[in-house]
């Protein structure tokens, strides 16, 4: 029981940390691809040092057996970060985060084709509710299409959600590999993928460091990636998947509140309604179906 309580506290702490990342990324004046690469470059060694400090070793046999999927999911992780961080630059942190939490809806929509799961009436209603919520959050319900910049931010965040859903699918296919080995390898691979991308796009030309930028990068890499991943993956075995799914909704709530309180980016009445529809639809879709009595 005590282990379960400690695990719950750790997951809640990790969700609070995740919920603040948009605020920190807003203050990093670097290309999104560079910020994403630095996140993996700092976060991966952090987790590796933690693993070594516990006198644990990486299972290279399991890594080799899953190398293809690890490379694919690591590449998608890097792209996912680029799209999300870029979305923060074009729209509010609240809107980007809510669009990003469309990922569970994408998973519900593709699960009949990928996992052979049945599309129930409840799940279909959840998908429709989330789609309606997206109309309100994007601003389309208030006066047609939103401004080009706002629309670009919404589309970037939705793209990040698609890649996150693909990462979840890929992780479900990984077999015989621990959570720490998986995350460390995915972070390192994301860096290897983002490095040539940053070179080809000239991102290094815009690279500049100051004590403030270094501090922000260190927080995003060590705290939002290393520490948050450590708290989450170190506790997930002690909690049910349903509990983990429910606690994950602390992240967008924190992001929305900080967006309004610190960045002065209020959602408005329509945005709040949209947030309730998106998060409610995603949340209810993850609850287990009640089995019919025979």
Give pLDDT tens digits for 69-89. 999 999 999 999 999 999 999
Does residue 177 lie in a domain region?
A: yes
Does residue 17 lie in a domain region?
A: yes
Q: Which domain holds residue 281?
A: 2-285
| Residue bearing tokens 């589309």 | 155
Is-contact 227 13, C-beta < 8 A? no
* Residue 93, phi-psi category: left (phi > 0), alpha (psi -120 to 50), beta (remainder): alpha
Give pLDDT tens digits for 125-145. 888 888 888 877 866 656 555
| Residue bearing tokens 């590449």 | 75
Does residue 50 lie in a domain region?
A: yes
Q: What is the pTM of this model?
A: 0.85
From the centroid of its chain, how far is CA 269?
26
Is-contact 47 179, C-beta < 8 A? no
Q: How many domains does the chain have?
A: 1
Stretches in the chain below the pLDDT threshold 70: 1-2, 138-146, 241-242, 289-294
Does residue 266 lie in a domain region?
A: yes
Distance in angstroms (rounded) separating the CA atoms of residues 223 and 45: 13
Does residue 178 lie in a domain region?
A: yes
| Residue bearing tokens 């979305």 | 87
Length of the chain: 294
Distance in angstroms (rounded) separating the CA atoms of residues 17 and 98: 16
- Collapsing DSSP states into helix, strand and coil, what is residue 216? helix
Does residue 290 lie in a domain region?
A: no
Distance in angstroms (rounded) separating the CA atoms of residues 29 and 34: 10
Does residue 294 lie in a domain region?
A: no
Q: Residue 44: its pLDDT value, please?
A: 93
């Amino acid at each position: 029981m005590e282990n379960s309580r400690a695990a719950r506290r750790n997951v809640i702490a990790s969700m609070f940390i995740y919920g603040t990342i948009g605020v920190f990324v807003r203050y990093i004046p670097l290309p999104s691809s560079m910020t994403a690469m630095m996140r993996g470059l700092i976060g991966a060694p952090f987790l590796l040092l933690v693993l070594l400090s516990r006198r644990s070793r990486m299972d290279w046999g399991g890594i080799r057996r899953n190398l293809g999927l690890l490379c694919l999911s690591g590449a998608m992780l890097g792209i996912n970060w680029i799209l999300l961080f870029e979305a923060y630059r074009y729209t509010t942190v609240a809107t980007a985060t809510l669009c990003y939490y469309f990922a569970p809806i994408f998973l519900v929509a593709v699960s009949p084709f990928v996992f052979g799961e049945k599309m129930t009436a409840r799940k279909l209603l959840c998908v429709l509710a989330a789609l309606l919520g997206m109309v309100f959050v994007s601003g389309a319900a208030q006066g047609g299409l939103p401004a080009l910049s706002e629309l670009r931010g919404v589309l970037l965040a939705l793209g990040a959600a698609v890649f996150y859903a693909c990462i979840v699918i890929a992780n479900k296919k990984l077999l015989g590999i621990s959570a720490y080995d998986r995350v460390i390898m995915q972070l390192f691979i994301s860096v290897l993928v983002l490095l040539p991308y940053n070179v080809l796009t000239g991102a290094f030309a815009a690279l500049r460091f100051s004590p403030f930028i270094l501090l922000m990068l260190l927080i995003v890499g060590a705290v939002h990636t290393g520490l948050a991943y450590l708290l989450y993956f170190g506790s997930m075995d002690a909690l049910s998947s349903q509990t983990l799914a429910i606690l994950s909704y602390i992240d967008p709530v924190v992001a929305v509140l900080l967006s309004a309180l610190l960045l002065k980016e209020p959602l408005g009445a329509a945005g709040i309604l949209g947030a309730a529809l998106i998060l409610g639809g995603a949340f209810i879709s993850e609850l287990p179906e009640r089995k019919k009595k025979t």
